[in-house]
Structure formats: C-alpha cells, structure tokens
Structure 1
C-alpha cells in the first residue's frame, strides 16, 4: 500500500503542475508579445488591445484574445497574423519565445529592416509569410532545420545575397516564393530535394547561371515562375519530365537556344510564357499536343519559320501571342476555328497571305493585332460576331477590300487601327454611334465617298485619322464639338466647302490637320475657343480673307501652318507676342504690309514668309520708301483708285451745284426783265 502513495500524490499534483507550467508559458508569451509590440511602429493603433489588465494575479491566456493572436486548446500561441496593418519598425528577437508558433504572417506592411536570424529557432513553423514589405539584407539561414515547414513567401521585398541553400533540406516544403527582390547568383541545385514542392517562384531577381536541370526531378511541381532574371543557356530538356506542371513562366529571363520539343509531353500545362527572350529556330509543332493549353506567349524572340498548323489543335487556347519574331508564311486557317480564342497577336513579323476567313466568327475574340506584316486579302467579315471585339489593329499590311459593315455596329470596339493598307470603298456609317470607340485610324488607304455625318454624334472618340485617302465631301457639321476629340486628321483628301463657325465647343481638341484639301472660305474666328489646341495645319487649301487676330494669342497654340492659301491683309503684330507659338508658316498667300519685329517674328525662317509679294521688313528685305508710304504696289494702286474716285465724285458734285445755282440765277433774271417790260 505504501508503494502506491507516491503515485497517488503525483496523480493529484499533476494537474496543478500542468496548470503552473501553462501559466508560466502564458506569462512568457505575454512578455514576448509586449516586447514585439514595443519594437513596432503602429500609426493606426491596430494593436491597442495588446496590454495586460490591472488584475494582479496570473495573466492566464488573456493574450489569446489580442488582435492577430491565436492560441491552441492549451492557451499557447500557435498563430500570429499581423498582415496588412500598416506596421513598420523592427521585428523583435522576442519572436523566438513563441516556441509553439506554427503560423507567422507579416505580409503587406512597411517593414524596411532586416529579418532577425532568431526566426530560425521557430522550429515548429509550418507557414512563414513576410511578403510585400521592404525587408533588406540576406534572408535568414537556418529555416532548413524546420521539419514541418510547407509554405515560405518572401516575395516583393528588398532581400539581397544568395538564395538560402539549406532550404533544400525542407522536404515538406510545398510553396517557395522569392519573387521580386534582389537575390543574386545561381539557383541552388539542392532544391532538387524539394520533392513535395508545387510552387517555385523566383522571378524578378538578379539570378544568373544556368537553370538547374535537376529541377526536372521535382515531379510534384505545378507552377514554375523564373522570369525577369539574367540566366544563360536555355530551358532544360528535363522540364519535359514535370508531368504535373501546369504553369511555366520564364519570360524575360535572358534565355536562348531552341524551345525544347519535350515540352509537348506536358499534358497538364495550361500556360507557357516565354516572351522577351532570345529563343530561335522554329516553334515546335509538338506544342500542339498540349491540349490543355490556354495561354501561349512566345513574343519578342527570334523565332523563325512558319506558324505550326498543329497549334490549331489547341482547342482550349484563349491567348496566342507570337508578335515581334521573324515568322513567315501564312496564318494557319485552322486558327479561325479556335472557339475559345480571345487574343491573337501576330504583329511585326513577315507573315503573308490572308487572315483565316472565319476568324472571330465562332469565338469570343477581343483583341486582334496583326499589324506590320505583309498580309493581304480582305478583312474577315465575322470578327465581331461574338460581340466582344475591343481592339482591331491591322495597320501596315496590304489588306484590300472594303470595311465590313458589321464592324461599324460592333458596340464593344475601343480601337480601330487600319491605316496603311489598300482598303477601298466608303467609310460605313455607324462608327460615331459606338459608345466605347476611342480611336478610328483609316489613313493611307483608298477610301472614297464622304465622312459619315454620324461621326459628329460620338461622345467617346479622341483620335480620328482619315488622312491620305480620296474622300470627297464637306466636313460634317459640329464634328469639332465631340467632347472627347483630341486629334482630327483629314489631310490629303478632296474635302470641299467651308468650315462652318462650329468651334464654340471644342473642349479637348489639341491637333487639327485639314491640310492639302480644297476647303475654302474664311478661317472661323471661333477657332480661338479651342483652348487646348496645340497644332493647327490648314496649308494647301483655298482659304481667303484675313488671319483672325485672336489666333495669334491662343494660349497653347505651338504650331500654325497657313501656307499655300489665298489669305489677305496684314500679318497680325500679336504673333510676335504669342505665348506658346514655336512654328509659324504663312508662305504663299496674298499677305501684305510690314512684318512685325518682335518675338518669334524676329527669328522666323524667311522661307515661312515667302510667296507674299506685299510683305516686307523684319526678317525680309526692308520696305522701300514708296512702300513705306503705301506698303505695297497693290496698296498704292488701291489708294490711287480711291483718291481718283473721290476727285471724280467731288467734281460731279461741284458741277451739279454750279448748274443749280446758274439755273436759279437765270430764272431770277428772266422774271425781273418781264416785270420791267
């Protein structure tokens, strides 16, 4: 019986011992948390409840209710989440006293200090997130001893030095994210041991060397993001063994060589981003085997050859970007049958032939840019069948035919850029009614007919360019009153008629180019109401009358070209005092008088004044003595004619007066003689 007494007393005492131990731990953790708070800068006072009550006994588990603190069933801190609280200052070494901590999140704050090395003593950590701060210095070593760690996120900081090699020992790790810092050197080959790793993000650093082919051994990898670094070499062929890989981003990684055909074995891959590298050779037809592929971007490389027809087998493809390469041949007609395609960018290659006739007909096409190639044929009629087309960019090709009528009814359009082609026919009506359309560029084509009148109804257009066509009409009334219009260019057409006095409301107009047309009449004085006008080009037209003096004092006007018209009168002296004017050309008009000698007119190129026989002085040859009195031969003749007219008029009036007086005298004399008789 006596032998059982110690055990009996132990059973009674054990709960009290445990309670005492828990209370001691709690006291230590409260002290640690208060030390952590003391080292922080908390301008919004998020941690105002981190304080000990006035109770004199043990604090117990009072800290388990503090902001960002979670405890387990024993009242011991196991989770500390201080993310997104606008904190800064220092991360205290007291953190290591939270021995049972499994979750630490300091994300999205303003820390700009080094991380304490003592973090490595938190051996029970499973999740560690310090992303989106400004932490500096080397990333703490020692985390490789953590046997339960599954998540490390140190992205978007200012860490420097080498990537920690010892992390290769954390075989439980599933996520390793160090994107967006200043790590340098190679990727440690020890990372091949991370056989449970699913996410590897090292993009946006200063990493160099070859991408380790050993990474191809991590069959669990689902996401690889290594771009925006300074690697050498190419993509390891061993990446073809990553059977679970879904996302591959090596963009802007300084990589070269050929794209491995082995990537075609990755049946789960949905994203390939290899843009802005130096890959060369042909696009592997084997990529057509990746039927799960949704996004494929190989732009800004040195790829050559034709676009593989096998890419038409990618039935889930939403984005295909092959722009800025050296691709030749035709656009595979099968691409028009991709029913999920939203973005097709092929610009700046050497592609030829027509676009797929059914492109966009059965897909939610939003963005088509095939500019700067040698494409021919007609514009596919069904581009906007899905009602999703936002940007249509076809410029610098040899595309012909007319503009499909349904394009001018495509409510989703924001940009239409089809300049520098061989497009003919008329501009279809309707573009002015598209509520989202901002740019309409049809310059340098073979368009005829008139500018549609509904263009002036637009409430969204900011850029209109119809220049270098064969349009023949007057300008639509109130076209300059489009509230968003900034640039209106219609030079080198056959436009006729006068500009109506329609400038009372042009709040945004900055560039107006009506040059090389047959527009006549006077320059409307109301143009001065365009308070943001920077460039006004009216050269090579049939404008008459005087230059409105108010134009010379427009506060933003920097470039004014009125050359090759039939303008008369004197050059406004106020041009010399214009607040913004940098370039003025009034050559080849019928201006007369002395050129003012002030402001820009003292340094103007005489060539910008020639062709006005009546102009003299200033930067031109001085006015002659006779021209000093009459300013010009024409003006002298005009004045002589006026004087002669006055003399003739006065002579006639005097003759009449003399005749009347003489008649009265004769009548009076005759009457007197009759009385005498």
Structure 2
C-alpha cells in the first residue's frame, strides 16, 4: 500500500508537470521515479529535478545528465553508466516509449532487472553489463523489432539463457559473458542470421554445443569457453564463413579438432587451450591463411606437428605446449616472417629446431623446454632484436651458446640449463640492459665466468652450477646491485672468495659448494643483510669461522661442511635469529659445542668429522680433560703408579679366574639389549592416531611415500598426496623433519598435535590424525586440490587464477575468520606464527583454509619469547627483530602482508620495490605520495571505478594491520567487522566456475600470449 507521503509526492509531481510547457509529462515522471529508487553517492543526477517557477519550459529533462532526446522532445538515449549508482531500476522505465539506447553499465545494482524492460519496443542497444543484477533475465526483449545490441555480461543472473531472443532477428551483438546462466545454448539461436558477436563464456552452461550455430553465416566472433560443455566441436562450425575469432578455451570439450575448421579463410584467432581434445592436429589447419593466433595448449593432442602449419604466413602465436606431441618441429616454421611466440614446452618432440628460427621473424618468446630436442641452438634467434625469453631447459642441445644471444639487448630471461652445451659462456651477457635471469647449469661449459657479469645493472639470478668452469670468481661479481641468487656449485673454480660483499643489498642465495676455493671465509660476507642461504661445502677453506656470520639477521641455511676450518664454533650461532639448518661436519673444529638455540637441537651428524668437538649434543668433554691432565702428570705420580700397578697385576690373576664366568653372562645380556634397541629403531610398527573416523590404515599411508607423490617441500617437512582405494579418498601427508633431539622430545610434539587435532573451523585445514613410529611422525590433512594462495597469485602456470576482486576478497575474509577462531574462540588461544600466502590453501570451491601449524603455539604465556625464528621473511612483524616475542599481533601483521599481496598481486619481497624495501614500506611510500591507486593490481581493478574503491577500502585495513606498533593493530574480530563494511556486492568468479579455476581476464579482453602466462 502507498503511504500518504508517497501519494502526496506523486500528486505534487503530476500537478507540477501541468505547468511544464511542451514536456512529455509521462517521461519526466518516469525519470524522476527512476531517480527516487536509486542511491547516488556521487550526486551525478543532481540536475534531475523539476524546474522552478522561473525556469519553466518545454523538454527541460532533455538537458539532464545522461539524457538525450529526439527532435520531438522524447527520450531517445539514457546513459547513466559508471556513476556508482545502486538500488533498483524502476519499472517506470517503460514510460520512456521512444528509448532506443540504454546504458546502465559499470554501476553497483544488485537487484533484478525490471520486467518492464521487455516492453520497450524501441530499444536498439541495451548495456547492463558489469553490475550485480540477479534473478532471471527479463523476457520480451525478443519482441523489440529493432534490437541490435544486448550486453548483459558480468552480472549474477540465474536460470536459462533467454530463448525468446531468437526472435530478435536484427540482433548483431549478444554478450552474456560471466553472468551465471545455466542449461544449454538454445538451438533456436540459429534464427539470428544477423548475429556477428556471440559471447557466452564464463557461465555454467552444459550439454553439447548445438550444431545449429553453424548456420549463423554472419557470425564473426564466438567466445563460449569457460563453461562445462560436453562432446566435441560441431563439424558444422566449418560453415561459419565470416568467422574471424573462435574462443572455446578452458572447458571440458573433447574429441578431435574437426578438419572442417580449415575452411574458415577469415579466421584470425583460434583459442582451444585447456580442454580435453585428443587425436592429432588436422593438417587442414594449414588452409587458414588469415590465422594470426593459434593456441591448442594444455590438451591431450598427440601425433606430429603438421608441416602445413608452416604455410600460415600471418601466424604470430603458435602455442602447443603441454600436449603429447611427438616427431620433429617442421623446418619451415623457421621461415614464418611474423612469428613472435613459439611455445612447445612439455611434449615429446625430438630432432633439431629449425635452423632459420628467428632469422626471418620478430621472435619474442621461444619455449621448447622439457622435450627431447637435440642439435645446436639456432644462431639467429635474436636477429630481429626482439627476443625477450629463451627457455630451452631439459633437452639435449649441444654445441656452444650462440654469440648472438650475448648481444641481444631485448633479452629478459635465459633458461638453457640441463642440456649438453659446451664451450665458454660468451662475453656480453653482463652488458644486456634488462636481462634478469641467466640459467646455464648442468651443461659442459668450460672457461671462466665472464668478467662483464660484474657490470650488470639488471641481473638478479645467475646459475652456472654443474659445469666445468675454472679460474677464480671475478672480484666484484657478488656486488651486482640487484643480484638475489648466485649459484656456481660443482665446478673447478678456485682461489679465494672475493672479499667484496659491502655492496650486496639484495643477495639472498650464495652457493659456491663443490669447488676448490681456499683461504679464509671473508668477514665482509656478514654485511649481506638479506642472505638466507649460504653454501660453501666441499671446498678447501681454512681459518676460523667469522663470528659475524652467526649474527646475520636473515641467514636460515648455512653449510660449511667438508672444508679445513679450525677453531671453535662461534657461541653466537646458538642465538642466531633465523638459522634453521647448520652443517659444520668434516672440518678441524675443536672445543665445546654451545648448548642453546639451533646448536641444542642440531643433528650430531652435522658436526661429525671434527675430532676436537665435544659437549652439547656430542659426548661430554670430560674425557678430553683427563687426557690433558695425564700429559701433565708429575714424575712422582709415575713412581706411585708403578707400585700400584704391581699390586693390580697380582689382583688381576685372581680376578680373571672368576671373571670369565661373569663375562660370559654379561655378553648374553649385552646382546639382548642391543638387539632390543635395534628392533625398536628399525622394526617398530607404524601407529595411526585418528581424530575422526578414517577409512584407511597406516599401511596405506606408508605406501604413498614415493617421489612421484611429492606435492611440496617446506621448512618443516615434505608433503605427499596419498590416494587410497577402499573406499577412495585423498589426503595430504606431511612427513616431518626430525632430529634425534626432536625424537627425544616427542611427547611435547604429541601434546601439541592432539591440541591441533581438536581445531574445527571451515577456514582451517582439518588435521585428520597422524601416523608415527619410534623415529618419524607423519601428519594427515585434508587434501586441497587448488593448491596454495601463493601459487594462485604468483605461480607461473596458475598465476592468472584469481583475476577478480570478489574472489580475492572472499579469500581475505575466510582467512580472517580462521585467525579469529584461533585467537578468540580457542581455549587457550592459538598463535599461528607463520601466516603467509603459501600457508593458505584453496579447496575445490576456492575457499581459503589456513594450513601448516608447524610454528603454532598456544598462548599459555603472554609475550612468549622464542629461540627459533617465528615466521617467514617478508611477513615477520618488525618488533620480532628486537624482542623475539610473539603474540596475536604478530599474526595480524602477517595477515596484513597477505592482504597487500591480494591487493597488489606482488610478492612481499620484490627487487622492484627498491633497496631494502618490502611490500609494506613500498605501499606506504605510494600512499604517502597520494598514489594509492597505483599499488592496486591492474588486472583486478579493470575499468570500473567501484572495484577500485572497494580495494582502496581494504587497503586501509591492510595498513592498519601492518602498523609498526603492535598496539595500533586491530584485533581479528575488528578486522572482520571492517571487512564487512568493504564487502563487494557481487558473486565471485571462482564460485561460478565451480572449482575449476577462475575465469581468465580473457573473458573480457584477450591476449595473444594466453597460456604462456
């Protein structure tokens, strides 16, 4: 029922309209009704109001924002797009009888579209895209005789595709991409003979693709991937004579690619990647004379690459990676004059690469890694000066590295490891202006490491390991300004390690093991404040271990074994803030081993081979003291000893007679205890302790511990995927690294494991139980099929999974709920202490689950001080460096870093941030310079302002979480409240896709190098 106020309002409008000379009264009323149902925070419709007495005149509404009228004063166009509007679109819109153009896209509407929209017979173009419209799509639009364009992409509709649109025979563009429609494509769409663009990708469509679509002779673009169609591509598609763009990527299509596609002379783009296509590539593809982009990657295609593909003279992208192709690469592919990307990674190709590859085309990207290719690397790959990425690893290439590569100024990445290359590394790589990664390991390279490496201003990763390089290191090679990793292990390098570490701002990995380096370990190495892994084992190093090394703030792995080091172990090793692995075995160290920090838990085998070491985890030093005392005995002690010795000798004669019987009995006892100890350590059975009903045994779990089942390796253990068959189930098995000290302290572990087994929350990975024997422990977790958040955001193959903000927001909210449960709902509360994107797993629905409680501690004591590093670098709260205390605020800081990853798409530590700058500092610098928008991931923000505004709200939360002072950080409960206020009002793409991965950005904009990302 209408309220009195509403009745009076409409009466007032009707009364006033009488005085608006010449104005179409009904249209003004409709527009004001539309405005009254909208929320307009930007006040974009402020001029939509009735005229004052002084401003009366006809058709005044034609000057309102977004309104255009025809010559008769009737509304012809209504464009209120991108105005941050929300609320409902009024049913009164049907009063705009002459409306031909309607654009309400890029707003925040979350209601249903008005049913009256289907009664606007004059509509020609309608755009309601990139909103949150729900419910079923209005029927009746098919009756609009002049309808040419309908764009309803990126909404939350439900139900079937509107079949009545098949009556709109003038329709040229139908775009329903990413809008959650279900069911199959209506065969009646064959009536749309004027249709040029059909976009249905990213819905929940099923069934077979109707062969009737092959009758749409005007169709130029068809984008219907990211659905769950069954069957194959209809052969009738070969009749789409006008077709230029065909995208069926990321789906469940199968069968062989139809040869009939070869009839489409106008086809420029074919994207069929990430389906289940099998069989061979039809040679008829070679007839597509206009083809520019061909991507068939991530399928099950077999057979050889047809030589006819080399006839595609316009081809720029050829991506066939991750299939089952055999045979050789057709030689004439090297003659293609426009080829920019050739990707053949992970097949079973043999033979040589085309000798002319790159000589005749502007080649930018070549990836043929993980095949069985041989022969020499083609010398002209960079003749056009465009080559950016050269990836040839895991093949059998031989010969030398082409000189032309070391002069290729466009090179960004060179990965040619694991081949049979020989000869020297050519001069010039150090002068390349943007080369960041150079990997030539596991070859037969000889000669020196080029001196010009030291001139590089861009190299961040150098790996020359496992070659036959010789001579000494260039003196300043470890001072390359952006160098993060330098690996030269297992060569014939010698001389001293250069003592020039003062300028190594980014160095995190240094591996010089397996060489002939001599002299002392340079003291200046301790100035590398970001060094995490230092490996100098198997050299000829001498002298003492420099004490400053033990105090390096980020050093986590240190291996100095198999050298000739002398002196004592620096006591500060025991209090090192970050050290997790230390190996000092097989040197000439001596003196007592400090018994604190990592030295209290170190495996004795990591100290073996040092005859002078004692104490700590090794046998006590008392025997050494007695030995020294005996060497200093006075001569009169010898005389007394001689007298005593005669007496003892007489006693021995008597004891031997009785002792023989005692000895025999002791031998029996000793053998019994030795055998019992041996059984305990080698034959002790595995025991399964379950926290819920399980349908497998410990034998099933142990059987899964093989290399082919490894899915991850971390600082606390190695993770396997275990599948059982009775009944079928899948679990993740984490086998913990354990030293002898860990075994002895096993009871503490089981107390904590039993506590974690009681955790019950939808955003925490469930600990199902554990399997253990006398020495080893294996944790059993739920298996998360979509991997970690870190891989989804930053991974090479999966890095494009989370491209919409709603999916990332939902993950952020899920993690917040999980941490709030640990902090506020557990008794006693639990601190995770290692919150990071790699410890956040994604289930089949892309819901976040917190994992890896290897560092978790219950908060029985506030401000707990810990002796081992708590967390991962880039995520550790700043106060930890000077207090070594952790509480719930430490988790909140780490969570803030994860939020910044979700917002920026960047890693916590990135050389692009600048020297000694992490993601927190980088973002704060941008915010302080009023450039907050520039930190947001451009692939997520898109072109809609409201997405950017939502992300900026969460950015404020992230900055609160990463405040330098712990007391300024909010609690997890407060964070959840704040996230609720920043909630997007749209469904996530990942939920729509039903666990098969998010829709790529190519739903809305396509890239010629998709599949290589």
TM-score (norm 2): 0.59
Pick one of 199, 212, 221 that aligns with 2:219. 221
Report if the CA contact (8 A) 1:226-1:253 is conserved: no
Q: What corresponds to 1:504 in structure 2? A: 502
Give me the whole-angstrom Cα distance separating, in 1, the residues matched to 2:626 and 2:62. 98
Report if the CA contact (8 A) 1:270-1:295 is conserved: yes
Give me the whole-angstrom Cα distance separating, in 1, the residues matched to 2:133 and 2:539. 65
Give me the whole-angstrom Cα distance separating, in 1, the residues matched to 2:592 and 2:218. 85
Give me the whole-angstrom Cα distance separating, in 1, the residues matched to 2:433 and 2:507. 19
The answer to whether structure 1 residue 168 and structure 2 residue 177 are counterparts is no
Deviation at 1:324, TM superposition (A): 0.8
Query: For 1:448-488, what per-residue CA distance to the aligned partner results, in whole angstroms no more than 9, with x for missing partners?
Result: 00000111111111111100000002111221222211111
Give me the whole-angstrom Cα distance separating, in 1, the residues matched to 2:322 and 2:215. 33
Give me the whole-angstrom Cα distance separating, in 2, the residues matched to 1:70 and 1:419. 64
Report if the CA contact (8 A) 2:592-2:614 is conserved: yes
Give me the whole-angstrom Cα distance separating, in 2, the residues matched to 1:366 and 1:597. 56
CA pair 39-355 structure 1, distance change in 2 beyond 3 A: same
Report if the CA contact (8 A) 2:23-2:60 is conserved: no
Greater RCO, 1 or 2 (C-alpha within 8 Å, sep 6+): 2
Query: For 1:148-191, what per-residue CA distance to the aligned partner results, in whole angstroms no more than 9, with x for missing partners?
Result: 11101111222222111111111111000111121111111121
RMSD after superposition:
2.0
Pick one of 338, 347, 355 that aligns with 2:336. 338
Deviation at 1:573, TM superposition (A): 1.7
Q: What corresponds to 1:192 in structure 2? A: 190
Pick one of 420, 424, 427 that aligns with 2:425. 427
Report if the CA contact (8 A) 1:520-1:543 is conserved: yes
Q: What corresponds to 2:140 in structure 1? A: 142
Q: Map 1:652-667 to 2 at 5 A.
A: none
Q: What corresponds to 2:61 in structure 1? A: 63
Deviation at 1:43, TM superposition (A): 2.4
**445-454 or 528-537: which moved more?**
528-537
Report if the CA contact (8 A) 1:545-1:569 is conserved: yes
Deviation at 1:59, TM superposition (A): 4.8
Report if the CA contact (8 A) 1:27-1:60 is conserved: no
Deviation at 1:56, TM superposition (A): 5.8
Q: Secondary structure at the match of 2:284?
A: helix
Pick one of 275, 290, 293 that aligns with 1:292. 290
Report if the CA contact (8 A) 1:577-1:598 is conserved: yes
Deviation at 1:94, TM superposition (A): 2.6
CA pair 61-25 structure 1, distance change in 2 beyond 3 A: closer
Deviation at 1:137, TM superposition (A): 2.4
Give me the whole-angstrom Cα distance separating, in 2, the residues matched to 1:98 and 1:349. 60
Pick one of 487, 490, 493 that aligns with 2:491. 493
Q: What corresponds to 1:593 in structure 2? A: 591
Give me the whole-angstrom Cα distance separating, in 1, the residues matched to 2:33 and 2:530. 59
Pick one of 126, 129, 132 that aligns with 1:131. 129
CA pair 168-628 structure 1, distance change in 2 beyond 3 A: farther
Report if the CA contact (8 A) 1:22-1:74 is conserved: no
Q: Map 1:62-101 to 2 at 5 A.
A: 62-101=60-99
Query: For 1:535-591, what per-residue CA distance to the aligned partner results, in whole angstroms no more than 9, with x for missing partners?
Result: 111111111122122222222111111111111111122222211111111111111
CA pair 610-216 structure 1, distance change in 2 beyond 3 A: same
Q: Secondary structure at the match of 2:516?
A: coil
Deviation at 1:625, TM superposition (A): 5.1
Q: Map 1:338-487 to 2 at 5 A.
A: 338-487=336-485
Q: Unaligned regions of 5+ residues in structure 1, if any?
A: 1-18, 641-677
Q: Map 1:491-570 to 2 at 5 A.
A: 491-570=489-568
Report if the CA contact (8 A) 1:274-1:298 is conserved: yes
Deviation at 1:286, TM superposition (A): 0.5
Pick one of 109, 112, 116 that aligns with 1:111. 109
Q: What corresponds to 1:122 in structure 2? A: 120
Report if the CA contact (8 A) 1:459-1:483 is conserved: yes
Q: Secondary structure at the match of 2:618?
A: coil
Query: For 1:624-651, what per-residue CA distance to the aligned partner results, in whole angstroms no more than 9, with x for missing partners?
Result: 1543896x99xx99xx9xxxxxxxxxxx
Give me the whole-angstrom Cα distance separating, in 1, the residues matched to 2:627 and 2:106. 80
Deviation at 1:355, TM superposition (A): 0.5
CA pair 568-628 structure 1, distance change in 2 beyond 3 A: farther
How many residue pairs were aligned? 617
Give me the whole-angstrom Cα distance separating, in 2, the residues matched to 1:290 and 1:579. 63
Query: For 1:181-236, what per-residue CA distance to the aligned partner results, in whole angstroms no more than 9, with x for missing partners?
Result: 21111111121111110100111111110000110111111111111111100000
CA pair 628-180 structure 1, distance change in 2 beyond 3 A: farther
Give me the whole-angstrom Cα distance separating, in 2, the residues matched to 1:361 and 1:538. 43
Report if the CA contact (8 A) 2:22-2:57 is conserved: no
Q: What corresponds to 1:10 in structure 2? A: none
Give me the whole-angstrom Cα distance separating, in 1, the residues matched to 2:562 and 2:336. 54
Give me the whole-angstrom Cα distance separating, in 2, the residues matched to 1:499 and 1:80. 73
CA pair 22-198 structure 1, distance change in 2 beyond 3 A: farther
Give me the whole-angstrom Cα distance separating, in 2, the residues matched to 1:626 and 1:394. 57
* Structure whose residues are more often helix by fraction: 2
Deviation at 1:506, TM superposition (A): 1.0
Query: For 1:306-341, what per-residue CA distance to the aligned partner results, in whole angstroms no more than 9, with x for missing partners?
Result: 111111111111111111111111110010000011
Query: For 1:249-276, what per-residue CA distance to the aligned partner results, in whole angstroms no more than 9, with x for missing partners?
Result: 1111210001101111111111111111
**620-629 or 346-355: which moved more?**
620-629
Q: Map 1:623-638 to 2 at 5 A.
A: 623-624=621-622, 626-627=624-625
Deviation at 1:119, TM superposition (A): 1.5
CA pair 22-127 structure 1, distance change in 2 beyond 3 A: farther
Give me the whole-angstrom Cα distance separating, in 2, the residues matched to 1:590 and 1:98. 93
Report if the CA contact (8 A) 2:561-2:587 is conserved: yes
Report if the CA contact (8 A) 2:344-2:367 is conserved: yes
The answer to whether structure 1 residue 255 and structure 2 residue 280 are counterparts is no
Give me the whole-angstrom Cα distance separating, in 2, the residues matched to 1:482 and 1:34. 66
CA pair 193-304 structure 1, distance change in 2 beyond 3 A: same
CA pair 25-353 structure 1, distance change in 2 beyond 3 A: same
Report if the CA contact (8 A) 1:303-1:325 is conserved: yes
Report if the CA contact (8 A) 1:397-1:420 is conserved: yes
Give me the whole-angstrom Cα distance separating, in 1, the residues matched to 2:577 and 2:24. 74
Give me the whole-angstrom Cα distance separating, in 2, the residues matched to 1:373 and 1:587. 39
CA pair 527-538 structure 1, distance change in 2 beyond 3 A: same
Q: What corresponds to 2:326 in structure 1? A: 328
Give me the whole-angstrom Cα distance separating, in 1, the residues matched to 2:574 and 2:110. 56
Q: Secondary structure at the match of 1:376?
A: strand
**384-393 or 51-60: which moved more?**
51-60
Give me the whole-angstrom Cα distance separating, in 2, the residues matched to 1:84 and 1:606. 67
Deviation at 1:142, TM superposition (A): 2.0
Give me the whole-angstrom Cα distance separating, in 1, the residues matched to 2:28 and 2:191. 38
Q: What corresponds to 1:36 in structure 2? A: 34
Query: For 1:428-452, what per-residue CA distance to the aligned partner results, in whole angstroms no more than 9, with x for missing partners?
Result: 0110111111110000001000000
Q: Secondary structure at the match of 1:440?
A: strand
Give me the whole-angstrom Cα distance separating, in 1, the residues matched to 2:325 and 2:592. 61
Q: What corresponds to 2:755 in structure 1? A: none
Q: Unaligned regions of 5+ residues in structure 2, if any?
A: 1-16, 635-1013
Deviation at 1:530, TM superposition (A): 1.4
Q: Secondary structure at the match of 1:215?
A: helix
Give me the whole-angstrom Cα distance separating, in 2, the residues matched to 1:109 and 1:434. 47
Deviation at 1:49, TM superposition (A): 2.4
**102-111 or 91-100: which moved more?**
91-100
